[in-house]
């Protein structure tokens, strides 16, 4: 791979790539069914005199939905099959298939792992075997589509050994295990609320529900029992739920169960509102209440009717989060182009276009490894069997945030210290990150030693066929005429077809189109 010539290729090719994604196809199918979401979003845009973007092309959609639903690039074959499919309902069909993929459970276990702070080392200190067990339970719950109210209730009422009862680790995966600290964590996780801003009396009432949580060690190394400690009760306790409703707790009554019953009651908006808002945020990049974990009276939803509708849908379908995902993904709103109709991007807060967002560190390295056929080494400072990761391990499936790699650290993987959504992203690329992709031995080695790319070059009957395969593999679309012309000119300086293959792959991996959702 000639670095000088590759840089010349990148300088011209990247500019073409930036403008090529949404210009590929003028034919975009209508979403599979009309949706109340769109009526509510577009009515709001009309009232604000904001024009929505056009629908995205099929080339953009197939890449976007793969990344958003399973955190994984489509293969060239998957992209080609979707693009050639003439079925007008193919977008909805693809969404249904992706929601059933194994990678869906991997990717969303990663998302929930960030929220629930699944991490063995400081400051969480779950211990490696407990972290692995906790992650397996979270993943199985997502795989089996366990209703979210049951998922929350099992976490909130869990008792037993951190090694044998995975949900118990919810009460260990927090910095402060005092009643006040637990209350803050519960509110952030299940209510999307930062109770530090609440009045002191209201905070104290919330803490009462977690005042009888006990912790005790056992003879087994690193085992800890979480339990309802009725010995802490000296008599009936009075408290108020966050909505102001008073309650009296008897000495033999576990207050956590009382709180959990209140929280997941369909008539109570706190839990379902937070969950619906997070689902929208996860797929559209911005909460209807933003930030998604800062729900409060003086931070109202941007589109109250839209949020109310999502809440009703979630309750009506038995807290089925996949149903809500399916509803959002099939909407025209989700499938809008990332290029705003309004050049001033006035509609960002009102969902007039799809927001451009960086790929998470885990998704990015998995994509690079998928393209090159390479593997990544993950390490932990804890010398235990539970921290050993096989070479084929994908980053989105890593259970424990303490198991990492230099790449993940550099590209801002969530440290899982607080459970805040803002902890889990850094929207601005750094110079160190860009230099790593451009010129590190790590990325160059993956490309130059890639058997997958060599095989692709050898199998391609023509240069045009090779370029098509590279673009479908990396960007999920064919190249534009302008991009073909740039590559044809560069071909004169490439030593052979394999050298050309590596140069083009390197240039595309360094493009914004590859590194961002759009």
- Neighbour count for residue 96 (Cβ, 10 Å): 15
Provide the pLDDT for residue 32. Answer: 31
pLDDT tens for residues 370-394? 999 999 999 887 767 677 788 789 9
Given a cut of 50, the residues of the chain with pLDDT beneath it are 18, 21, 23-34
Provide the pLDDT for residue 29. Answer: 38
In whole angstroms, give the CA distance from residue 424 to residue 430: 16
**Terminal alpha carbon distance of the chain:** 29
Provide the pLDDT for residue 3. Answer: 57
Q: Tell me the percentage of the chain whose pLDDT exceeds 70.
A: 92
Q: Which two tokens stand for residue 246?
A: 């008073």
Q: Look at residue 238 and give its three-state secondary structure.
A: strand
Provide the pLDDT for residue 488. Answer: 87
- What backbone torsions phi and psi does residue 279 show, to the nearest 5 degrees? -60, -45
Provide the pLDDT for residue 380. Answer: 85
- What backbone torsions phi and psi does residue 217 show, to the nearest 5 degrees? -85, 165
Provide the pLDDT for residue 234. Answer: 78
pLDDT tens for residues 290-315? 999 999 999 999 999 999 999 999 99
pTM (two decimals): 0.93
Provide the pLDDT for residue 422. Answer: 87
User: Where does residue 100 fall: left (phi above 0), alpha (psi -120 to 50 degrees), or beta otherwise?
Assistant: alpha
- Identify the H or E element spanning 240: strand 237-240
């Amino acid at each position: 791979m000639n670095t000088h010539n590759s840089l010349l290729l990148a300088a011209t090719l990247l500019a073409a790539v930036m403008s090529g994604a949404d210009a590929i196809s003028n034919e975009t199918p209508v979403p599979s069914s009309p949706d109340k979401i769109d009526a509510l979003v577009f009515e709001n845009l009309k009232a604000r005199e904001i024009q929505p973007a056009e629908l995205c092309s099929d080339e953009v959609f197939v890449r976007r939905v793969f990344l958003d639903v399973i955190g994984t690039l489509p293969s060239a074959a998957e992209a080609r099959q979707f693009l050639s499919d003439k079925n007008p309902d193919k977008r909805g069909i693809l969404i249904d298939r992706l929601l059933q993929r194994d990678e869906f459970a991997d990717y969303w276990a990663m998302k929930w792992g960030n929220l629930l702070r699944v991490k063995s080392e400081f400051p969480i200190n779950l211990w490696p075997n407990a972290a692995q067990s906790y992650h397996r339970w979270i993943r199985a719950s997502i795989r089996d589509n366990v209703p979210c109210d049951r998922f929350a209730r099992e976490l909130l009422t869990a008792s037993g050994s951190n090694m044998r009862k995975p949900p118990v680790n919810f009460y260990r995966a927090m910095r402060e295990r005092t009643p006040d600290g637990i209350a803050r964590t519960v509110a952030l996780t299940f209510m999307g609320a930062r109770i530090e801003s609440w009045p002191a009396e209201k905070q104290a009432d919330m803490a009462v529900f977690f005042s009888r949580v006990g912790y005790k060690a056992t003879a087994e190394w690193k085992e800890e029992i979480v339990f309802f400690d009725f010995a802490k009760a000296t008599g009936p306790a009075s408290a108020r739920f966050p909505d102001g409703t008073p309650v009296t707790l008897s000495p033999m009554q576990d207050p956590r169960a009382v709180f959990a019953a209140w929280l997941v009651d369909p008539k109570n908006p706190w839990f379902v509102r937070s969950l619906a808002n997070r689902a929208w945020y996860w797929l559209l990049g911005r909460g209807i209440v933003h930030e998604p974990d800062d729900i409060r009276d003086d931070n109202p939803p941007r589109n109250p009717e839209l949020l109310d509708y999502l809440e009703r849908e979630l309750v009506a379908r038995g807290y089925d989060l996949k149903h809500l995902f399916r509803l959002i993904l099939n909407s025209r709103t989700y499938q809008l182009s990332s290029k705003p109709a309004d050049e001033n991007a006035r509609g960002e807060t009102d969902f007039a276009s799809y927001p451009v967002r960086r790929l998470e560190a885990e998704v990015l390295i998995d994509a690079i490894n998928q393209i090159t056929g390479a593997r990544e080494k993950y390490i932990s400072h804890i010398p235990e069997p539970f921290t050993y990761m096989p070479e084929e391990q994908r980053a989105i499936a890593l259970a424990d945030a303490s198991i990492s790699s230099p790449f993940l650290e550099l590209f801002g993987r969530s440290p899982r210290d607080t459970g805040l959504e803002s902890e889990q992203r850094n929207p601005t690329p750094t110079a160190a990150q860009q230099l790593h992709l451009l010129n590190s031995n790590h990325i160059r080695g993956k490309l130059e030693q890639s058997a997958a790319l060599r095989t692709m070059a050898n199998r391609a009957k023509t240069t045009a066929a090779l370029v098509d395969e590279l673009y479908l593999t990396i960007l999920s679309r064919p190249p534009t005429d302008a991009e073909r012309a740039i590559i044809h000119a560069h071909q004169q300086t490439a030593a052979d077809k394999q050298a050309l293959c590596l140069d083009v792959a390197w240039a595309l991996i360094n493009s914004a189109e590859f590194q961002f959702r759009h």
